[in-house]
Structure 1
Amino acid sequence: METSVPEPGTTYQAAGVDNERADLGLKRIISRVRQTWPQGNEPGALQLDIGHYASVIDAGGIGLAIATDGIGSKAIIAQMVDRYDTVGIDCVAMNANDLICVGATPLSMVDYMAVQDPHPDLLDDLSKGLCAGAEMANISISGGETAQLPSVITGYKEGFGFDLAGTAVGTVPLGKIIVGRGIEPGDVVVGIESNGIHSNGLSLARYIFFEQHDYTVETRFPELRQPLGDELLEPTHIYVREALAVLSSDVALKALVHITGDGFLNLNRVDSEVGFVIDQLPPVPPIFSLMQQLGQVSDEEMFRVFNMGVGFCMIVPAHEAERVISIVNEHGKQAYAIGYAVADPEKHIHIVQKGIVGKGKTFLKSD
């Protein structure tokens, strides 16, 4: 398959995010942490290699799924808008959505708040969002840590710098862990709508709107239904309830894919020798089109960084796609049959409407 190098434009790396360098460091981390793994069937034996959305260990015959994540630079958007009561939802979403990707039922989460200054109102607002997200995901917040780090944490608003992360756990029967095995050509990709930018790509968004251009969080664009800052702060959708509804049905659900960092390239994380043809994308939300236009960002970079309006995918046999869409719709979100699997050991991702093909960590123009 012939592909061409993308034309120059604003990139994630230009905004300060160097994923290639981070991946080199990650390889070193992985080589070390694998040395801590129990051997054979010892207590705590890992059931999955690193690289899946969540880890699963054998906890006395029960699969204990574990995921950890944070809200990234969405914390800066919260400071710019001076509103902190929704980013906790993002924190829950980033963890709970990853747990369900291995077929687990999320149960509980602990949080980590690192703050420049322990303003009581800030901490209270962060906890409001965590509790709202916990209700949406049907989990508990069972504890956490608040660290006062004035020499480490800084931010956009003096004294209000913070970071927010969490670790969530859930359970999955050891024989029912889902990692995308058994996907066959013709299986359908059901895409579920996102709520905007979610919690990935905010560094690039800030770079375009606030550094390349002099917009503010109060700026209103005709394309957007609310001020720019509020649009960027929209909470990440939590997909737990609809995913568990499909999991509890008799649908032959083969994979669940959270469209986070790396965008649609997350589809090639499935454990099958397939690629995907995405040929029925829903309309792209205006926030993405606006960023692409203002930043002159290539299609290749947009689909590598952002969710482009699809925050989660389920892969099912073709004859069950409409049933899955109906289940998702019953839970208040729009879902679409956006593409299908094809036999492909190299695991290419074809975005037909844009004429781009992804492999590994990169999208390129197809010739």
Structure 2
Amino acid sequence: MVTEYKKSGVDLDKIKELHSIEASIITSTYKRTILGAGHYSGVIELNGMKIAIHVDGVGTKTLLAKKAGRYKEVGVDCVAMNVNDLISIGAIPQALVDYIALEEPSEKIVSGVIQGIVEGAKEAEIDVVGGETAVMKDVVNGFDLSCTAIGVVEELKTGNNVVPGDVIIGLSSNGVHANGFTLIRRLLDQNRLSWEDWEAELLKPTRIYVKPLLEVLDLIKAAGHITGGSFSKLRRITNYSLDLHLPEPPPIFKAVEEAGVPHDEMYRVFNMGVGMVLFAEKDNVEEILRRTNPYCPAQIIGKVESETGKIKVHTYKSQFLYL
């Protein structure tokens, strides 16, 4: 199937194949690993302590930051993409290091990015303990950015105890977050999406979900950060069938769809207004909503069903699709 995302240069099926190849190779190194490749973060046990580790970047959103001459937002993004994956498995984020690769030395880029990383770190209440800056003119276009973060785990939240009848709760996103930008840039380049109309919205940083999740770790069974691959990421948590009824998305997603992305593909690429998903017993839902809503809007978006293998998504257009 040739999708708009594939036409842009990103083949999600091929990426999954690469992940599978990588996972099969690295398992031979496992000595301390208790949660390896395939979930939101890896976990090792060291002297009785469970330590989680994750690495991520902001993808080609850096090119839009360069276009706008604004770099602070992607610094926040980079923190969010790491700490959100840590907290998804129940790991409390502690610290991170950054890596900035530059086409040429730029104080404006570095200072802007670091300001954003510091802002995100303060929001997540973690330490920035160092980093690395490299200049690679023949490799990098503008700049690239990634972080590696660590957390500590008392109780893993991997979804092993998710059962039919459990309720699925969605925490709202802050817009597009930091994935799908290869497709969005294609729409911008082809003048199918207006940069002037959507610049501010597209540069909004990924919402950091650490504080709301810390409020409810004792009440949830699992959490899923919705990034690349969208709601298919929930397969990391359970193979039970999921029945999702998603709310009407923010205007930016409608604009992207109107620019020529098929409705079903939107739900395979973007978060569509739901950036974090929680799994919980029915009896805990009311308290979870009470604790999370002060941080960001939250609502019930579905349930876990008895059969296995399907994620059914009901969209705001009264359509449904299977992931």
Length-normalised TM-score, structure 2: 0.95
1:344 maps to a residue whose letter is E
| C-alpha separation in 1, matches of 2:8 and 2:213 | 34
Q: Counterpart of 1:263?
A: 230
| C-alpha separation in 2, matches of 1:127 and 1:322 | 39
Out of 16, 22, 37, the position equivalent to 2:15 is 22
Q: Counterpart of 2:148?
A: 167
1:187 maps to a residue whose letter is D
Residue 311, structure 1, aligned to residue 275, structure 2: yes
| C-alpha separation in 2, matches of 1:137 and 1:294 | 35
Out of 84, 104, 107, the position equivalent to 1:117 is 104
Residue 327, structure 1, aligned to residue 291, structure 2: yes
Out of 135, 140, 146, the position equivalent to 2:133 is 146
2:311 maps to a residue whose letter is I
Out of 176, 184, 187, the position equivalent to 1:197 is 176
Q: Which runs of 5+ in 2 are unaligned?
A: none
Q: CA deviation at 1:21?
A: 2.3
| C-alpha separation in 1, matches of 2:60 and 2:106 | 20
Q: Which runs of 5+ in 1 are unaligned?
A: 1-5, 39-44, 155-160, 221-227
Out of 331, 345, 349, the position equivalent to 2:308 is 345
Q: Counterpart of 2:186?
A: 207
- SS of the equivalent of 1:341 reads strand
Length-normalised TM-score, structure 1: 0.84
| C-alpha separation in 1, matches of 2:160 and 2:16 | 25
Structure 1 outlier segments of 4+, above 4 Å: none
Q: Counterpart of 1:105?
A: 92
| C-alpha separation in 1, matches of 2:13 and 2:101 | 27
- SS of the equivalent of 1:47 reads strand
TM-aligned CA distance change 1:216 to 1:80, over 3 Å: farther
- SS of the equivalent of 1:14 reads helix
| C-alpha separation in 2, matches of 1:139 and 1:205 | 31
**How do residues 1-367 of structure 1 correspond to structure 2 at under 5 angstroms?**
11-38=4-31, 45-154=32-141, 161-173=142-154, 176-211=155-190, 213=191, 217=195, 219-220=196-197, 228-247=198-217, 249=218, 251=219, 253-270=220-237, 272-279=238-245, 281-295=246-260, 297-331=261-295, 333-346=296-309, 348-353=310-315, 354-358=318-322, 363=323
Please say which structure displays the higher CA radius of gyration.
1
Q: CA deviation at 1:105?
A: 0.4
- SS of the equivalent of 1:13 reads helix
1:341 maps to a residue whose letter is V
1:188–1:340 contact (8 Å) kept in structure 2: yes
| C-alpha separation in 1, matches of 2:194 and 2:159 | 42
TM-aligned CA distance change 1:302 to 1:50, over 3 Å: same
2:308 maps to a residue whose letter is P
